[in-house]
């Protein structure tokens, strides 16, 4: 079975990509635990789908020091959890040719949420998954097509996604002999609140830019249920199917070379 997971924790499921995919996975027959900061959105999610199909947990993954306790609480409440889907992310303008516009606290927050929180969460959930041994488990990470090639207006965001992508490639290789899969999704520009004026006031009509979220979900779910480990969507397919393939070939050659040298 290409997608055998039955109970999925989705971090960053209060709106946009996370919420849309949470609802698609429930429709597929999965039980989804929605996680995020906005209590009212989480409550509405459970109310819509019912406690037989959904649960909720409040968390701010930007508070890295709280993640170990969060993970312990989730495992205690849901010992049959078999998939952790980390979708949380923020995007802010970061044009360093205008140094007076750079807020380093915001830069640090963006790096913590988009990259470090994924490492913290994975590190804490891995022993739980490893103890399941032959039971299929998975991590799913939302990366970005900007992990392949950056744009200028949100340079730090692009860097966080590139870091996440490099680490995910290595993690998948490290876990390839285990029952835990590592799946990475590469969205293009998608119509979500990520680009709203509330968060990025320099963009006009940002929430209406890009691929409609339902079209994004169609392609993502098709590839997810087919068993793909890497899921580029929309325009992200262009880079993924060209130079990214060459880069990954070099990555795997380097892995084999390092093994051959005993490193």
Q: What pLDDT score was predicted for residue 156?
A: 98
Say whether pLDDT at 203 is over 70: no
Say whether pLDDT at 209 is over 80: no
Lookup: tokens for 172:
């998948």
Residue 102 Ramachandran class (φ > 0 left, ψ -120 to 50 alpha, else beta):
beta
Domain boundaries along the sequence of the chain: 7-260
pLDDT digits (tens, 9 = 90+) for 87-126: 999 999 999 999 999 999 999 999 999 999 999 999 999 9
pTM, rounded to two decimals = 0.94
Q: 205 falls in which pLDDT band (50, 70, 90)? A: low
Taking the CB of residue 90, how many other CB atoms lie within 10 A of it?
17
Collect all residues with Cβ–Cβ distance below 8 Å to 251 and sequence separation of at least 6.
Answer: 169
pLDDT digits (tens, 9 = 90+) for 118-155: 999 999 999 999 999 889 999 999 999 999 999 999 99
Fold of the CATH domain 7-260: Rossmann fold (3.40.50)
């Amino acid at each position: 079975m290409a997608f055998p997971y039955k109970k999925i924790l989705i971090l960053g499921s209060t709106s946009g990509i996370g919420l849309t995919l949470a609802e698609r996975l429930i429709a597929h027959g999965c039980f989804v635990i929605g996680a995020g900061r906005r209590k009212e959105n989480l409550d509405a999610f459970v109310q819509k789908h019912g406690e037989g199909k959904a649960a909720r947990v409040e968390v701010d993954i930007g508070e890295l020091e709280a993640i170990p306790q969060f993970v312990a609480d989730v495992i205690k409440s849901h010992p049959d959890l078999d998939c952790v889907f980390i979708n949380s992310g923020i995007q802010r303008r970061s044009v360093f040719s205008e140094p007076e516009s750079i807020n380093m606290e915001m830069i640090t927050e963006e790096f913590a949420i988009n990259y470090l929180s994924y490492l913290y969460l994975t590190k804490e959930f891995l022993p739980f998954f490893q103890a399941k041994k032959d039971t299929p488990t998975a991590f799913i990470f939302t990366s970005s097509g900007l992990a392949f090639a950056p744009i200028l207006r949100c340079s730090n965001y692009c860097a966080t996604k590139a870091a996440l992508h490099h680490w995910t490639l290595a993690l998948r290789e490290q876990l390839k002999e285990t029952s835990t899969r590592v799946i990475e999704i590469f969205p293009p520009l998608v119509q979500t609140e990520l680009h709203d004026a509330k968060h990025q006031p320099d963009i006009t009509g940002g929430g209406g830019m890009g691929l409609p979220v339902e079209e994004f979900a169609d392609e993502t779910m098709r590839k997810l249920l087919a068993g793909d480990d890497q899921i580029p969507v929309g325009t992200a397919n262009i880079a993924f199917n060209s130079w990214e393939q060459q880069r990954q070939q070099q990555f795997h050659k380097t892995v084999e070379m390092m093994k051959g040298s005993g490193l």
